Amino acid sequence: MSKLLLASIHDVGPRSEAAVDQLCDILGSHLGALNFAMLVVPDHWGEAPLASNPAFQAKLRGWADQGVEMFVHGWFHKDLAEHTGMAAIKAKHMTASEGEFLGLSRDEAARRMADGRKLIEDIIGRESAGFIAPAWLYGAGAQEALAQSGFKLAEDHMKVWRPDTGEILARGPVVTWASRSVGRQRSSRFFAGLARHALGFLPKARVAVHPGDVTVPALISSIHATYAAFARGRRIARYADLLDSAHTAHGPARGAAA
């Protein structure tokens, strides 16, 4: 089986439109056409509602028509919960108040998932690819809601899985960048450089970019180098291909026609 490359643009919405356009050009130059996923935020920080922006809705539909997979990426993306224990450590060190689904109850997480799904699917005129929590962070309530949500795919830092069964479809750290401080820029560039050599063995590699990346020329250079490296010798894949591969590996369901 050939090795795969899965690519994605996070935090897509009216607030990040210019940066997303730039990232589309960057990824397209390495992947060919629009062979990547977008993670769409319905109302980023409560300041950029998709529902009242028909021009951006039209762009989303156009991208989807050209083959971009659309994931529901939270609702606000902003984390307003008070955290204790390990969740507090994650909220402080892994994200800057961006882990919206880290502290939500099951019912609130389920409501935001369902509302985001309906909005985005109505806009693009087709089923969404799945759900990915902001900052890849899921609390217990979000995990419980996700298992009952009907989404076909979910993703965190270390894996892609089927929410309904828990089956893991891809393993290994996602390669991504952080732009919010010089220290994080340097560390993410270091990890990307290491990953280009050390993670070549992964059968399914994931590389994700964020709108803030385009504000730092050194990150743009690292992104170009990383996509170029991972694209060599790999098939540019869709997340949906993971479901197809799992079905092929397991064979037809028991009792199904061969």
pLDDT over 70 (residue 250):
no
Cβ–Cβ under 8 Å, residues 246 and 1: no
The candidate with the shortest Cα–Cα distance to 77, out of 18, 4, 12, is 12
pLDDT in tens, 156-174: 999 999 999 999 999 999 9
Read off the pLDDT band of 78 (50, 70, 90).
Answer: confident
The answer as to whether 41 is a domain residue is yes
Mean pLDDT, range 220-228, rounded to an integer: 98
The answer as to whether 111 is a domain residue is yes
pLDDT over 80 (residue 58):
yes
CATH value at residue 64: 3.20.20.370
Mean pLDDT, range 73-100, rounded to an integer: 60
The answer as to whether 211 is a domain residue is yes
Question: Is the CA virtual torsion 125, 129, 130, 136 positive or negative?
Answer: negative
pLDDT given at position 253 = 43
The candidate with the shortest Cα–Cα distance to 42, out of 154, 145, 97, 118, is 118
pLDDT over 80 (residue 90):
no
Q: How many domains does one find in the chain?
A: 1
What's the per-residue H, E or C state across the chain? CCCEEEEEEEEECHHHHHHHHHHHHHHHHHHCCCCCEEEECCEHHHCCEHHHCHHHHHHHHHHHHCCCEEEECCCCCCCCCCCCHHHHHHHHHCCCCCCCCCCCCHHHHHHHHHHHHHHHHHHHCCCCCEECCHHHCCCHHHHHHHHCCCCCCEECCCEEECCCCCCEEEECCCECCCCCCHHHHHHHHHHHHHHHHHCCCCCEEEEEECHHHHHCHHHHHHHHHHHHHHHCCCEECCHHHHHHHHHHHHCCCCCCCC
pLDDT over 80 (residue 81):
no
pLDDT in tens, 186-200: 999 999 999 999 999
The answer as to whether 257 is a domain residue is no
Q: Rounded to an integer, what is the distance from CA 101 to the centroid of its chain?
A: 14
| Of residues 245 and 8, more confidently modeled | 8
Distance (Å, whole) CA 47 – CA 7: 27
Mean pLDDT, range 48-62, rounded to an integer: 97
Give the global pTM. 0.89
Q: Which residues pair with 171 in a beta bridge?
A: 159
The answer as to whether 98 is a domain residue is yes
Q: Which domain holds residue 240?
A: 4-250
**Tokens 């389920």 sit at which residue?**
110
The answer as to whether 165 is a domain residue is yes
Average pLDDT, the chain: 90
The answer as to whether 255 is a domain residue is no
Read off the pLDDT band of 33 (50, 70, 90).
Answer: confident
